[in-house]
Amino acid sequence: MLLRAAPPHRSREEAQRLLQRIGDATDDALRGEGILPGIRRSLDRLRPGSYADLQHVIRLSGDLGPEAFPLLLEQYEEHAGLTSSEFFTPRAVTQVMAELLVCEGSAPIAVHDPYLRGGELLTAAVEAVRRAGSSVALPTVRGAGPNEDTLRLAGMHLMVQGVPARLETGSAAPWTELDQPSLTADRIFLNPPFNASVSAVRGRKPEQWPYGPPPPGNDNFAWIQYALGKLNPGGCAAVLMPNNALSSANGQEQYIRQSLVERGALECVIALPKQLFRGTAIPVSVWILRYAPGRRKEVLFVDARHMGVMQSRTRRILTEDNTAAIVRAVEAWRSDGERSVSHVGVDGLSTAAEPDDIRDRGYSLNPADYVVREMAATRHAEDLERELADSMEAVRRARHFMIGADVRMKQVQRESDFVRALTGDSVLGHWEERPLGELCEVQAGPSPSLVKSTRSAEGDVPVVLPTHLRDRRIVALPDQVLVPREHAEGRLRNYQVAAGDILCVRTGTTGPSALVDAPQEGWILGSNLLRVRRFVDPVREVLPEYLLAFLSLPAVEEWIRIRSTATTAIGSISTASFRQLPVPLPPWDEQRRIGDRLRAYDRQIVTHRDFAQAVERSRAAWAEQVMQEAVTVMRPKKTRKEQVS
């Protein structure tokens, strides 16, 4: 409509007037949704170089859907020069917080964010409810924020997602607003400004802080108590805190931590890795709080500091596998915590502690004081002997396979005439180029909600995740997601993999591929993967080993990355785009020779890596055996129940 109303001369002045019309129309739409206007004022500062430039931007904007808004927020955050109190919450962190809070029960809930940034926490909460399906009612959404520009962005973020929300201009220290309405919520999501210096006690008497007055000059624990004070009975809150709040030496903060533990208000602490936020390397933790007097006082500690992958030199992201592992650790404890007060997560991420244990550590809430100590407990002497013997046997086996791979590689390297023969013009003239979709069936993985609804700790069929694709093969990992066999052969039957299939990462770090071997037959394709399965057709026959070699070329991985659609912060390539990949296809015998020789390289890489890992394991076993006294020092203190028994 805007382009159809363009003036005939299309001058730069007309471009400026069109921008003003866009601003006015947008502000009218915002007012209609109860959102603070201000787009016209922002657009008045722009100076388009030409009318054609503005037309091009309008056309591009018309192709964007609601899913593009998080990407726009990231660009705004990168270029707007936001302060640390305005940084947006990383998407993976919002997903963890939302998954842990919003899907308990099916009754409608009220969700509130008292320090809105870009609306990312509230949006994540609504998305989590939608992923849960019709069994959970959509929440009512409220929020407040002190920054008008980001408050407006938050409103637009929620509006394009189809989420009606009540947003208000708030305070950087809302507990000082004595006439503030007593609005409460069932779920509170909060990423407050860290270590803010607004006096936390101003405007309130000491007895008005139920868990203890925060120290002047640091509002971290004022925000904690504000969130708890706004919860309805049975409600819960997820609050991001800087890690210095976990075990600070300040007496007032220590007293508040003590009160939170002894009164059962703290359910869980999740330590996250550093460098998650844009513009700062500060590590943070998620605190799960509950207003549920009488609940058990055990606290779950999750240590996820080692997780994530570096997206750039200064920015780390949590993968979908990482967030799923964190959520699984908490859900597993919630499901069995009522029956066990000594829960140690089988995932190696989590440990539950009673108030006695936390009291013995001076009310430190640092997961490293619990999870790591449990993992470092000394084993019995016979266990150490067995581990050393097993590790030495593993070294022997790994060396045997490595020697075999080295012998095969010597044969390959002697066949230099083969390489020269393949590069001759007469041979290359027999190659043809075909789109991947003409050679193979390309199948995308199931929806995340389908996998989530079918997975089970008692399952026996693994789901292949991107982290399982290593060195062009599929490896099993300790945190494997499992589904029951009846689901694998029923609802997920179309997503089973077979030997000879090639799996490619389609979301996130797009490009890496792996060949399915016989041991993985029947496993389930993960949501973030594509399955490439060759057609049984002699006319368009392609050898899986050759195709894997081609898909693993750096140029091909770059082709995939370039065509990944960045609809969110993490890119994704569509099935249709992947089918268009041009594949150079030599004759069958040459495909076989190329595939065989490159698989020999892969075999050498894998066997040498396996040998190095076996030697590392043997070294650790030997060191632990001869230095048992040093390891004993790292044992966790016995609980009082253990001492009595």
Q: Are residues 325 and 238 in the same domain?
A: yes
Assigned domain for 501 exists: yes
Specify whether 408 is located in the same domain as 269: no
1-10, 464-473, 619-628: which has the highest mean pLDDT? 464-473
Q: Are 493 and 556 contained in the same domain?
A: yes
| pLDDT band at residue 257 under the 50/70/90 scheme | very high
Q: Are residues 342 and 234 in the same domain?
A: yes
Do 260 and 114 belong together in one domain?
Answer: yes
CATH code, domain with 552: 3.90.220.20
Here the tokens at position 36 are 């603070």
Give residue-wise pLDDT tens across range 386-445: 888 888 898 999 899 888 888 888 877 766 555 555 544 444 557 888 889 888 999 999
Shared-domain flag, residues 516 and 420: no
- Count of other CB atoms within 10 angstroms of residue 214: 24
Query: Could you tell me if residue 643 is inside a domain?
Result: no
| Total number of domains in the chain | 4
The model's confidence at residue 450, banded by pLDDT at 50, 70 and 90, is confident
613 and 513 in a single domain? The answer is: no
pLDDT value, residue 326: 93
| The pLDDT of residue 377 is above 50 | no
Residues 357 and 232 in one domain: yes
Per-residue pLDDT of 189-218, as tens digits, reads: 999 998 887 654 555 566 678 999 999 888
In a domain, 560, yes or no: yes
In this structure, the answer to whether residues 183 and 298 fall within a common structural domain is yes
- Tell whether 316 is covered by a domain: yes
Domain assignment present for 175: yes
Q: What contacts 2, CB < 8 A, 6 or more positions away? A: 18, 21, 22, 58
Burial class (CB in 10 A: 0-12, 13-18, 19+), 520: buried
- What pLDDT shows up at residue 192? 92
Task: Indicate whether 325 belongs to any domain.
Answer: yes
Indicate if 141 and 287 belong to the same structural domain: yes
The pTM of the full predicted model, rounded to 2 decimals, is 0.58
Residue 176: which pLDDT band, with cuts at 50, 70 and 90?
Answer: confident
Task: Count Cβ atoms within 10 A of the Cβ of residue 6 and give its class: 0-12 exposed, 13-18 middle, 19 or more buried.
Answer: middle
> Domain limits at 462?
432-585
Same domain membership, residue 29 and residue 48: yes
Domain end call among 357, 375, 393 = 375
Task: Decide if 2 is inside a domain.
Answer: no
From 47, 63, 79, give the residue that closes a domain.
Answer: 63
566: pLDDT confidence band, cut at 50, 70 and 90? very low
Q: Are 300 and 330 in contact (CB under 8 A)?
A: yes
In a domain, 645, yes or no: no
| 407 and 316 inside one domain | no
Q: Which of 375, 392, 415 is the last residue of a domain?
A: 375
Q: CATH number for the domain including 310?
A: 3.40.50.150
